[in-house]
Structure 1
């Protein structure tokens, strides 16, 4: 789009002042009126505008009243230099670009359409029309059209130190601590993580401490000098340290898969060692990183790539490091800083109630308490075995926040919740009609069952870890619950559906990215930002870029690690199988990452990769697991790293600094997480068992075991014969995807906020331990904050929304750590009604079925009919 490709002369985007000083120091000259000339409309451009009049217009504009302080001054100054014909051009092209943009405010888009139609269509006085025209154009050209971005970003850049010794020191220390804690918690249920917001809180005082204790001294290494203490700890150092920490503070992806392969309760591959885990960590983490860097033009540079999931991190950074002017907004005068820490402590203290003192408040299945042994009540309203139709499902923020209701746009939450409600209804229909014998199994479990209703015994169909057809014919085909059946069918459907839908809807953006990537490879001197003229990209042009070949080199190196891990160890997986899985992952990630960057909805190819492994290496569950590693793990790592690249883009962190920090962080993470995994395996004889007293039950390992059993041991062909919808779902998705894309464009007026991929994604929320319990309360919160408050009190929402979310989430995380270390690592039992009532009945037993079998009976296919 042209308004992104043209940089007008006289655009000031950089200041040597810190962010706390703001824009007011940049244009302190003329604060009265201005006169411009434009041959296209000489009369209009000779109109005089008073600064106070523009500021007053900002205050009463429903789509701009979130602007405050220095940001408002900046927009006023830019409004005064925008010419009328230029404004019309900017708005016209912006309308074309954002028409199909689900994040773009609909009211603002309609306002812009009226503005380009002229004064008569707009219905205001000529002076008001002229002012609004320029104001909207200035906002798009010099700042951002999204209120979410304006609430967390500044329209100017600051020349302050970034990649300092103390930033590395703080970032790497908390990376190690975060990786250690998060890797431990990855195997625990319920789990919690040291999130980005929590780590920021810990990074901030650490950085300030080093500011006071480090000597003001430069250490020389030849021609290189390191300034140990370059001055006050600043917001770019804070964000850089956060990015370094984020790169490695999460659990390593491969370690999720290790227990399923290694432990005797699963496949018992005891040949796994620390060295093998490190190699596979390098393979998956750096493949994801190399892929992430190669996808910058699809998911970092485009304006549409809002990345709602990283906005709380941006807001918290601004709160901690930026001076805030005292002001009263809708009766609130409390500072964001003070509010954050009040909520943090309140949330921390309160979390002891649902997580330890009164656990039934967390999974608040109060409706089942009325008749604990009533199976039908448990199926419909239960939090553990049922679908969770419960208007008040929890009093626990960790459950309410499961779908990040105060972060994702409301249309995302609404679409997915509507799909989840429909999924619950479909699940009950499948269950009560005994479709595919599902009435003989609990309704919403990930467990795979045999024909007698017992958990499927894989050893009964294996000989030397290989599938044995004779044993299989004697034993049983695998059967899944109604929830798992619906989950698998919908997951296969959404792959082809989402791929087609997103590719068609976002073709112009993706095409532009393909062209830019190709040209950058041909001309290494070409700027990556040359094709992007939005304010953020313009400000980034002064920094040295990271060439695409750097990321491609890392990509190639990680593939080498992958092939070593698969080929040099008894993985039972041919090297070519790993290569195919990698190529398929690369092919599918582009539309999926575009979807994630705009909606916050994460998709991966975990199920598809499992099927690929089953087809390419029949009878080998390990091949399925390795393919899934290259599918899910690589995609997830890519999307996490790209989010941090966008974080650096929003914060104006030099790209090469981000590159160095992330690479160092990932290397350290690979070793730390491998060590933690080995420690846990050695510490617990019953690690990953459902009876583990420390709650290291490894929920994902059990789900992976079920999937690999279906597609690896039994194989896709036999599974698809048992459940034909699994294979037909791919074709149905491929057909309906283009139709949905066409229908949305044809009826955009009525379907502006309906997103079929998100809607279908809501149905996938079943099949394991999750159900409506985890989303109903979150929907209430999303409606209140992301719809009602945002529409009616935009200024208040812009200032406080992300801070409230960050404060509550940080309190839960710290509370969870305290409870775990003090009361759960060496379990302290608190036995009373409030901690037992939630699992005392049918819902808690999680084994009840609609139909039962007499001794000697079995359900499903008759003997001799499965092969």
Structure 2
């Protein structure tokens, strides 16, 4: 169904859409530097803008407004009832504000962690070009990834079901997606643009959203200001204040987290996203991998002293020298050229990692390999059929027929011109400003080639299986081997090669959503382009402002509330892959060359599960064992800690296993709304507390009342970071004698 007369790009669309984009971009970047970084989802904007749009339709004047100084250009502030096409475009703009800007990590790394300046215009151009480059690839592949009915993009079905009730595709593709869209029975589905009648004594979903928002907003003052210990209870650290071993076992962030838990929604959802939106079987897979990793592999590696593990903290994403001290990066980098210094490296020696960090890289290698084996074995035939049908273009479904009948396509040259302009600006960013970003011209072209080569295969996987492997490790390896010793070149290449591919997939997914909802393609293009530029600008501006105004930002010792966990991991990766390089880490000159065997392990790991599923087809639960999810579920460690995983897993199992089975109707109507309300309430409460309470503090003032609950749970566990090898001296840690060891 389609009504091509419905207005799409209206005054309401731009007003509500750009406001949503700006608010989400600011909140998500603001939270990105916090100890528990929280992402406010576009679903929150999708819910809030519906009554606002209807209010504008009821109250705004319908008289047309003329643009001053133009020849008859005019528009109406109120072209009629608020419609679903406007709402979709508003959500697309909100998506732009919620997706994040990867290049901001480079700005943070340089200013807060390397303590070096970076030209603001170079950083701004880097941010914009890495976000916009994907448009070119999206334009090239949209015929296969959008027009084809075989590329159906599972996550879009949730959005479609929220917008419209009558779309048969959203109710017929699979049992898996039906569970998300409603409760397996068509008459129980609810859509935002379907009139919802409030039951006596009950609430509509929008009312429920605001109730949850108010409770979340009010409660967050407790863990954020009054009682930070609630964000990560580590009772063992309080009981055994002088025991390194006890704190290693019980610390929620720096240890194994035995008995640690959090009463803070930011702790629960900050790293792994909301558990309420994750299927129960996926949660069980993630938690199985988490337990195997943290309670089997890490303890074995540490207490057998593998790679001299006891010289370093049990859980850490930092880089160390052989004596157990923080790695002297300044000596290994030439201060004038900001490149690898061989003489300094010979003094400091090779980089050492905690066993936790070493194994996390190993699992990263294994996950990358396991994804391809899993896809080939479990989805290979259907994936091949869908791909060949998409290339042959033998079938045109109802959506494509309606779109071609009612709307003009976006001309190919629009994408081509934008691609050329973006590449030209990328050359200006990398080759101008004294070559500050270190990436040569051929590096830009190589990054474009890598991104282009992977967009179609990764896009097909995402569109048909909702599995999206990242290229960050691959891009780090490529530039690390071909152009070593330059940290900025490494991270810039990674951003161009990895993020532009991810952006292309985001754009294609949004185009498919517009395809399902019959949005004029040119309107989609304009909204995506404007949303990307506006959101990127605000992400960059918010980052620059916070880095300039918050003392000791990204220093976990001096300012634990603003410890930039993701940026610290990004910084360590720049040292490992960029400064020292993969040859001296995982290659023939490295201490960790054996970690490359994880590629083979990951390649083989899905085979036993596949064989078992074929031998015992009646046991349906075997097919729910997903090896890439088991291996890759812990890849948020670091920066996530055990307390984040335990809290996330408990809440997820409660809602998506227990409540889903017993109270399916309530689950189908309220879970996503509740999740959005919790995220939004926490975000607005934290921003209000920051401006009302924290911005007026001096660098030595305390944030919150002074009592024993004022200290965050993780920082009652200072001894958890201590080494246990004999003779290693670290500030604040007891020195272990040879007899004690």
TM-score category (smaller protein): 0.7 to 0.9
The reply on whether 1:244 has 2:90 as its aligned counterpart is no
Q: Check whether the contact 2:156–2:513 (CA below 8 A) recurs between aligned residues.
A: no
The reply on whether 1:494 has 2:367 as its aligned counterpart is yes
The reply on whether 1:836 has 2:711 as its aligned counterpart is yes
The reply on whether 1:848 has 2:722 as its aligned counterpart is yes
Deviation by residue 1:138-191 (Cα, 9 ceiling, x = unmatched) = xxxxxxxxxxxxxxxxxxxx9633221221122123323433343333333333
* Aligned-pair CA distance for 1:831: 1.4
Equivalent residues in 2 for 1:328-727 (5 A)?
333-390=202-259, 393-402=261-270, 403=272, 404-425=274-295, 426-463=297-334, 464=336, 465-508=338-381, 510-511=383-384, 514-515=387-388, 531=395, 533=397, 542-544=405-407, 545-546=409-410, 550-551=414-415, 554-569=418-433, 570=435, 571-590=437-456, 592-593=458-459, 603-684=469-550, 686-690=552-556, 693=559, 695-720=561-586, 721-727=590-596
The reply on whether 1:781 has 2:651 as its aligned counterpart is yes
Name the residue aligned to 1:796. 666
Distance 1:537 1:753 in 2: 33
Distance 1:785 1:839 in 2: 27
Q: Check whether the contact 1:405–1:782 (CA below 8 A) recurs between aligned residues.
A: yes
Distance 1:630 1:746 in 2: 44
Partner secondary structure for residue 624 of structure 2: coil
Distance 1:334-1:306 versus aligned 2 partners, 3 A rule: farther
Q: Check whether the contact 1:385–1:444 (CA below 8 A) recurs between aligned residues.
A: yes
Larger-gyration structure (1/2): 1
The reply on whether 1:279 has 2:120 as its aligned counterpart is no
* Aligned-pair CA distance for 1:692: 5.8
Deviation by residue 1:64-115 (Cα, 9 ceiling, x = unmatched) = xxxxxxxxxxxxxxxxxxxxxxxxxxxxxxxxxxxxxxxxxxxxxxxxxxxx
Larger RCO (CA under 8 A, 6+ residues apart): 2
Partner secondary structure for residue 226 of structure 1: strand
Q: CA RMSD in A?
A: 3.4
Q: Check whether the contact 2:251–2:714 (CA below 8 A) recurs between aligned residues.
A: no
Partner secondary structure for residue 780 of structure 1: helix
Deviation by residue 1:202-234 (Cα, 9 ceiling, x = unmatched) = 534543453345321234676865332112323
Name the residue aligned to 2:692. 822
The reply on whether 1:811 has 2:709 as its aligned counterpart is no
Name the residue aligned to 1:88. none
Deviation by residue 1:625-647 (Cα, 9 ceiling, x = unmatched) = 11221244334434444443444
Name the residue aligned to 1:70. none
Distance 1:748 1:592 in 2: 29
Distance 2:194 2:482 in 1: 55
The reply on whether 1:257 has 2:69 as its aligned counterpart is no
* Aligned-pair CA distance for 1:687: 4.2
Distance 1:396 1:600 in 2: 29
Distance 1:378-1:550 versus aligned 2 partners, 3 A rule: farther
Give structure 1 stretches of 5+ with no counterpart: 1-12, 17-157, 521-529, 857-867
Distance 1:562-1:846 versus aligned 2 partners, 3 A rule: farther
* Number of residue pairs the alignment of both structures matches: 683
Name the residue aligned to 2:738. none
Distance 1:735-1:298 versus aligned 2 partners, 3 A rule: farther
Question: 81, 94, 103: which is aligned to 1:232?
Answer: 81
Distance 1:666-1:510 versus aligned 2 partners, 3 A rule: same
Distance 2:73 2:532 in 1: 25
Identify the range of structure 1 (294-303 vs 394-403) with the bigger mean alpha-carbon deviation: 294-303
Distance 1:229-1:546 versus aligned 2 partners, 3 A rule: same
* Aligned-pair CA distance for 1:786: 2.1
